[in-house]
Structures are given as structure tokens and as C-alpha cells.
Structure 1
Amino acid sequence: MTPSRELWVVLETLHDVTYFTPEARAANESAGLRGFWRGYVATRAAPLGAAGLGLVTAVFHNFAPSFLARSLPSVWEKVSPERALAARLEGAVAALRAHLPEPPARANELLRRAMDGLCWDGRPLGAANAVLPWPDEPTAALWHAATALREHRGDGHVAVLVSEGVSGLEAHVLRDAADGSRELIMPNRGWTDEQWTDAERNLWARGLLDGGGLTDEGNRLREHIEHRTDALATYDLTEAEFAELDGQLRPAARVLVPGAVPHPNPVGTPRP
């Protein structure tokens, strides 16, 4: 793995406490967000403001519009984006404190430097998170940085998929051909069997799938997408600083799995 991908695995785990922990669910419910997916959609989309179904479908990329429509736009009648953001941070900080009494000493300084050196052009979710106020409290700052950098990389991944003509559903189908993740992913993104089969046919027609799974061309495309995503998520840190950051954050992330962040999970978080 490249240093940027190694860092993403760790940051993804830190970010994901906001979806899976009882502290996050309690904060969401206190704000009026009942149900896992309503909380997920509202808190993840909230940096964009009271975004409608079309915008959120576009930036989330890999969810079925009908699945997101269960929450949008009606969720904004239950909670404002500002309240959703407050609940998101409250729950994440409570979850991290429950498992990590103190944030790693110099991680926030290095993460802020990584953020300051990035280009946010064409990265709607990443940029929307990056411009939120940097928290003064260290645990909150750690989660904020992890989230902004996670969404920066995710936006870049979507851009690469779009440039290669791969829809969000087709990306799932390609992944399933490599790791058998369909049973976990399909119901948690709202796609139907018919839609999945149509996507498979499209990928067969492109020579990316065959009866044995991914073709050589399919494997090459997946590798290209991952490598290009890595290249678009480079950070202005030295090799020594990457190593220092990894040494501080990876032990913290490993504490969270599986106690706070289940594995496997519908977000697709790898083990740190």
C-alpha cells in the first residue's frame, strides 16, 4: 500500500465511530434522527446544507436514489443541518473518548498540515467538511481532520470512477467479483437484484467480467482506479512524518476494531 492509502485505512476507522457506536446513535436520536440510515444520510450530508436528493445522490455516488429518498429531503424537516452537524461531532467525540482516553500527541498537528497542503477543487464533500471550524478540543479536532481527509479521498475516488465510466453500482459489482461482498453491500446501498444483474451485463459487455469473475482487463481497471485514487490523495508530509503519524494513529484505530467499528461493515472499512 502507498502511504496515502495506509493513512486512509486508519482515518476511515476513526471517522466511522460516528456510524456504528452507541454514543453516536444516542446523539443522533437526541437530535431527532432515529434509525441508522436516517442518521447516516443526515450527518454525512449536513456539511452541504439542506441538500436535496439529486445533490446527495450525486456526491454519495454509490447509493440507489430510491434508498436515499427514504431520508431526503424529509429529514431536514426533522433536524436542521446545523443540528445534525452538532450531533455528529457530539457522538463521535463521546465514542472516541470511550475507547481512547487521550488523542495521540502530535497527530493533530500533522493532520492539519496535511489538510492545509491539499487542493480541494472538485471535491464537494471534502471541501464542505474542511471549511467547518477546526475544533479547539483535541479529540474533536482529530475526528474533524479524519473526516475531512476521508471525504477528500472519497471525492477523488468518485472522480476516477466517473472518468472511467464506472457507475456507483458498477463499482460495487466489480468489487464483489473480487471479494464476494454483494450480500453485505447490496441491501445497504438499496440496489435491487434486477439492477445488480443489469450492471453485471454492462460490465460483461465491456469485457470486465466473465464467468470466472473479473477478467484481466477488469483487474487492470480496478488496480488503475485504486492507484489513481492514491495519486490524487497525496499529502505534503515527509516519509518520516507519515511513519510518525501511522505510529500514533494505527494503534488507536486498532483499539476501535471491532469494539467500536464492526468488521466487516456496510461502509467497507478495512481492518487497520
Structure 2
Amino acid sequence: MTGVITQSGADSTRQLDLTEEAVADAMARALWERYEPVHDLVYFAPEVYSAADALGMRGFWMGYFALRAAPLGAVAPAVVTSCFYVFHPARVARALPDAWAYAAPADVLAARQDALDAAMTALFGPDTVGSAEFAEAADLAWEAAAAADTAGRVLAAANQALERPDRPTARLWQGLTTLREHRGDAHVAVLVSQGIGPVEAMVLKAAAGESDGVFLRETRRWGQADWEAAGARLRERCLLGADGALTPAGAAVRAEVEALTDAAAEQPWTALGADRTARLAGLLDPLAHMVETSGLLPPGNPVGLTRSAYPADH
């Protein structure tokens, strides 16, 4: 299989010519780099904050866990801690199950659809979200998400099981979210297979320069002692040096984790096909650019996006 992913912006258009051997992995990463920022509106858009407040959620983190975990139903905090992987159990337990006393999961799901519709309309503009191209993107994303294999992927399966929204905004966001959790479930499985625990995963990400370590540690509510212990374990495995930088072995493990994650995220895109996947990437690119340059996303790159094209290439 061969294909081309086109990246376009205000100042330039680049084509990534993909070899037959690399096309599926490259498509998986290229699409993640485009759908992740759009998905992230659920965490950082003011319309979502307002919706969480209206539901009765007490603070950002209760809203975060309720909005993201709602497809699972009113499950115990331990289930969410396991699925989300990198959060300290106490961070989750401060939000759940208390959130379900303020709003049932079904009500949270309805509110997040409304909030994302409002957020996307405000950011992208009513002409964009009402366009034929936006509806096309929504349908392509939904089709890819519906084709995703969710065996062993709990968050992806829970999101995939939701009904198809009528509104293109909600349909696009939900399709992208299913794909995002599909990739995330695979990433967790890869980390487990490599013997990399939650804190070790964040230490490696920070050492690779992909995210700010202090931001990750504090927002996931791990203590400094937890962080230092994880670093010590990684040094024992010769993955970190004494200065906290990745060793060659650590860089190799980090690259292997990302490569295995990409490989495990291929299937929805092979099902959609190279040409239609490239089309979706092109449709998402300006939306991702608008999110990434909106000022909504916090500094520190908490999701670890590795694309460096924003804002320099746009």
C-alpha cells in the first residue's frame, strides 16, 4: 500500500511521500497529530468548563474525569485509574464517584456533546462547521472509528458504543475521540508490555523533551518522591543517565514504544484506506492549526504531541 499525507497551512504545503512499508504507521501518527488537538477542546474550551459547572461538577478535575469517563458508566475510581494510567489514584478518587452524585453519566454525555458543539462553532466559525467539508470530515472520522478494533481496549470500546450524533460537530468530535482512546489504550498496553509504569512513562516523556516534567507530575498529582523513585528505577535499567537525560538505550526504548503504538493504531486507517485517510488528514489540518494557535492549550504539551509544524510552518 502506498499513499501521501498532505499537510497544508497558511504559508506552505508539504507532502509526506510514504513508502509501502511505512505508510500505515505514518498515517496513524499523522492522523493522531491532527485529531489530538481537536479532541483536546473537551479539556480546555471555556464552553466545556461552563457545561461542567452547570452539571454541578466541583472544579476542573471533577469535570475532567466525569467528561472523559462518562462512556464507561458510573464505574469505580479504580477502573478509571487503570484506564487513564498516569494519574495518581488519589487524584481520581477526589473526583469519582462523587461526580455521579451531581450528574448521571448519560447527562454528562449529553452535556459534552452540547459543549463541544458550542466550542467548535465558536472557534472554527459557523460557516466552517456548517460546510460540506466539515460534514465530510465528520463522516470519515466516524467511519474510521466504527471500523476500529476495540478488543482489549476499554476506553475505545465504550466510546465506540455511543450512538452516532446527528450534528456534524458532535459526530466529528466523538469519532476523533474514539480514535484517540483507541490509540491511547494501545499505548498503555505497550507501556505495560515494556515494564514502564505510570510515573516512569511520564519521566521518559519529559526526558525525551516531549512534555514538561513538573507540569506532568503536578497535574497527575504524583509527589516528588514518586518522581525521583521512578527516575531511579529507570537509571537502574540504564534508560536514564545520572543527569536525567535519556541514554541511547532509553532513546531506543522510547522510540520502540512510539513505533509499537503507531503500529497498534493502524487498523482504522487501513480500513478507511490511504486516499480517504489522506483526505481526512487534509480536512483536519486547518482545524488542528486553529486549536493549536488559539491559546486554549496550556504550555508544557501535556499530551506529548511531537509535530513541530505549529506555528513555524503555518
Aligning the two structures, in what range does the TM-score lie when normalised by the shorter sequence? over 0.9
2:154 counterpart letter in structure 1: P
Q: Map 1:107-256 to 2 at 5 A.
A: 107-179=137-209, 181-212=212-243, 213-234=245-266, 235=269, 236-256=271-291
Q: Secondary structure at the match of 2:296?
A: coil
Give 2:55's aligned residue.
Answer: 31
**Contact in 1 for aligned 2:212/2:302 (Cα 8 Å):** no
Deviation at 1:105, TM superposition (A): 4.1
Distance 2:293 2:56 in 1: 27
**Contact in 1 for aligned 2:146/2:160 (Cα 8 Å):** no
| Regions of 4+ moved over 3 Å | none
Q: What is the alpha-carbon root mean square deviation over aligned residues?
A: 1.6
1:116-150 per-position Cα deviation (integer Å, ceiling 9, x unaligned) = 32211011001100100110111110111011111
Structure 2 residues without counterparts, runs of 5 or longer: 1-24
1:63 lines up with 2:81 in the alignment: no
Q: Secondary structure at the match of 2:222?
A: coil
Deviation at 1:265, TM superposition (A): 5.0
Deviation at 1:174, TM superposition (A): 0.7
1:195-217 per-position Cα deviation (integer Å, ceiling 9, x unaligned) = 00111111111111112411111
Distance 2:252 2:92 in 1: 31
1:202-239 per-position Cα deviation (integer Å, ceiling 9, x unaligned) = 11111111124111111111101101000011122333
Number of aligned pairs? 272
Structure 1 window deviating more from structure 2 (80-89 vs 259-268): it is: 259-268
**Contact in 2 for aligned 1:20/1:260 (Cα 8 Å):** no
1:163-213 per-position Cα deviation (integer Å, ceiling 9, x unaligned) = 111111110011111216112111100000000011111111111111241
Give 1:5's aligned residue.
Answer: 29
Aligned mate of 2:38, from 2, 5, 14: 14
Identity over the aligned pairs, expressed in percent? 41
**Contact in 1 for aligned 2:135/2:168 (Cα 8 Å):** no
Structure 1 residues without counterparts, runs of 5 or longer: none
Deviation at 1:17, TM superposition (A): 0.8
Deviation at 1:93, TM superposition (A): 1.2
Distance 2:47 2:141 in 1: 24
1:219 counterpart letter in structure 2: A
Q: Map 1:67-106 to 2 at 5 A.
A: 67-100=91-124, 101=126, 102-103=128-129, 104-106=134-136
2:230 counterpart letter in structure 1: A
**Length-normalised TM-score, structure 1:** 0.95
Q: Secondary structure at the match of 1:209?
A: coil
**Length-normalised TM-score, structure 2:** 0.83
